[in-house]
Structure 1
Amino acid sequence: MTPRPTAAALALATATVIGFAAAAPALAAPSAEADGKATVSVFHAVPDLKVDVYANGKELLPDFEPGTLTDPLELDAGSYDIKVFKDGEGPDGTPAIEKKVEVPAGANATLVAHLTAEGKPALNAFVNDLSKVPAGKARLTVRHVAAAPAVDVRAGGTPVFKGLENPKETKGEVDAGKVTADVTLAGTDTVAIGPAELDLAEGVNTVVYAWGSASDKNLALKTQTFKDLHSAPHGVPAGETGQNATNSAGIAGWSVAFGGLAVAGAAIGGRRLFISHR
């Protein structure tokens, strides 16, 4: 895997993180759309590549490290020119990739630059579910973005999500509380990641990402939480939990397909996010 395609995948993920002065709490989706804003988090899940990201000639994400999940960013809807350089090679060098990006109002999503099951760089956008959670319940969302085969996700030794594949997600409402989770190769008891203790709080959507590479033995877990969902239809993203916490899994649902450097759109909350090759 060469630096150029990996950086290209990361460029696509970071392309929407534009126009912010500083990280800010997310607005509820209707307010965000009314104000012409969007809320985007970016997770850099491509191992072993640090980059610098520029937008409209300004450096946005210097020294962006693998394993980093940004805080939720409120940004203006609009069009932006993105350039991504291998760390230290910008802004006067030749960018690894240059993109023009259209950011729609009202979006609330996490963009993930990661590896496919075969170890190739890819980008997927996941809509964050901010709907109500029943009293006494928590929402668990699992996203598989690791270079690994299909897996089962277990809680307390019992499979709760089976046959989950990269780059998909699955989710469900569970009893609030602490649970010991691990990830096994699908249909087996062979543990690939974990065990790890998850605190599934009432009224919170806990998103668990499995990322890294099985062959390189660097599989890891990252979590992201969205709070206050028991009292309002739309909660406030709370950023990540833990600092590159190790080990967990991921998996089945909404994703965006991209072909090479030409990129299609992603449906996000009824809107579309467009990234076009210049």
Structure 2
Amino acid sequence: MRSIAWGAAASLALVATAVPALADDHTSQVSVLHGVPGLTVDVWVNGEAFLPGFEPGTLTDPQALPAGTYDIEVFAAGADPETEDPAISAEGLEVPGGANLTLAAHLDAEGTPMLSAFVNDVSMLEAGQTRLTVRHAAAAPAVDVLAGGSPVIEGLENPDEAVLELDAGSVEAAVAAAGTTDPVIGPATLDLPEGVNTIVYAWGSLEDDTLDLAVQSIDGLHGEPAGVPSGEGGLVDGGVQAWMLVLAMAGAAGAVVAGRRLVQNAA
């Protein structure tokens, strides 16, 4: 199992400055991807046990989270909080409002655990159009995304994303090392419906042979911008507790706002 150096959790108040406001500035729609292979944990929120056994590959259902502050403790799975110290504890974590986010705990290109808070594009699409978002969240070099065997996204690096707007339909997609056409993930058939942002994550480790895909969808983008993300690869009704787990997995080593994404590395 790959070890993680846990640092003090940082406030997410910076996220509020990096994301566009939604209709309700008092809540955020938040989904969580656990993309760190081999790490299962229990999380406590405000002194209560909320999410035991949160496993790699899990992508939570979205939750409407109220802005506010939360106290959390994260333990190794199965640890007794009465007798053992948490791997990390944090008080007064700030939850911003007015965003549609996916928080991904994953590996960087060298295999070090990190947190990326991605802003999900919920802007409206034209009739007949669909949106495909690809996010590189794996311990792997730059990759090309192939559609029908040909590259449609080239040189995508961890932890970047690429967004395409296409005609709705189905596509056979795969992920290959940059400059090649030999898939390291896939191929897999993706259904890309009209008015939907289909978000695909490559996560895991190339060296450890744990590469995998996770998929979420934000629909309703040909109407009001109130689409709700859903995930494939293991759904859990995580709520606040799941979000707090991933916040805890980010140390306070530093934060960089890059475009529409906040990336925060573990200590």
Global fold match (TM > 0.5): yes
Deviation at 1:130, TM superposition (A): 0.4
Gaps of 5+ in 2: 13-19, 236-249
Alignment of 1:31-70 (within 5 A): 31-33=23-25, 36-70=26-60
Alignment of 1:167-182 (within 5 A): 167-182=159-174
- Mapped partners of 1:48, 1:106: distance in 2: 33
1:79 to 69, 78, 103: 69
Count how many residue pairs are aligned between Structure 1 and Structure 2.
243
Report the TM-score when normalising by structure 2. Answer: 0.82
Establish whether residue 126 from structure 1 lines up as the match of residue 90 from structure 2.
no
Identity of paired residues, percent? 52
Which runs of structure 1 show a deviation greater than 4 angstroms over 4 or more consecutive aligned residues? 263-270
Deviation at 1:174, TM superposition (A): 0.7
- What's 1:135 paired with? 127
Deviation at 1:2, TM superposition (A): 4.8
Which sits farther off after the overlay, 51-60 or 164-173? Answer: 51-60
1:207 to 195, 199, 205: 199
The structure-2 alpha-carbon separation of the partners of 1:31 and 1:189, relative to structure 1 and needing over 3 Å to count, comes to closer
The amino acid across from 1:139 in the alignment is R
Deviation at 1:264, TM superposition (A): 4.5
Alignment of 1:194-233 (within 5 A): 194-232=186-224
Deviation at 1:243, TM superposition (A): 4.2
Secondary structure of the corresponding residue to residue 195 of structure 2: coil
Give deviations 1:223-263, integer Å, cap 9, x for gaps: 0000010112x13223113549xxxxxxxxxxxxxxx8325
Secondary structure of the corresponding residue to residue 30 of structure 1: coil
The structure-2 alpha-carbon separation of the partners of 1:267 and 1:74, relative to structure 1 and needing over 3 Å to count, comes to farther
| Higher relative contact order (CA closer than 8 Å, sequence separation 6+) | 2
Indicate the RMSD between aligned Cα atoms, in angstroms. Answer: 3.0
Report the TM-score when normalising by structure 1. Answer: 0.79
The structure-2 alpha-carbon separation of the partners of 1:4 and 1:185, relative to structure 1 and needing over 3 Å to count, comes to closer
Which sits farther off after the overlay, 84-93 or 180-189? Answer: 84-93
Alignment of 1:1-278 (within 5 A): 2-5=2-5, 8=6, 30-33=22-25, 36-92=26-82, 93-100=84-91, 101-232=93-224, 234-241=225-232, 243=234, 261-264=251-254
Deviation at 1:126, TM superposition (A): 0.1
Whether contact under 8 Å (2:59, 2:234) holds in the other structure is no
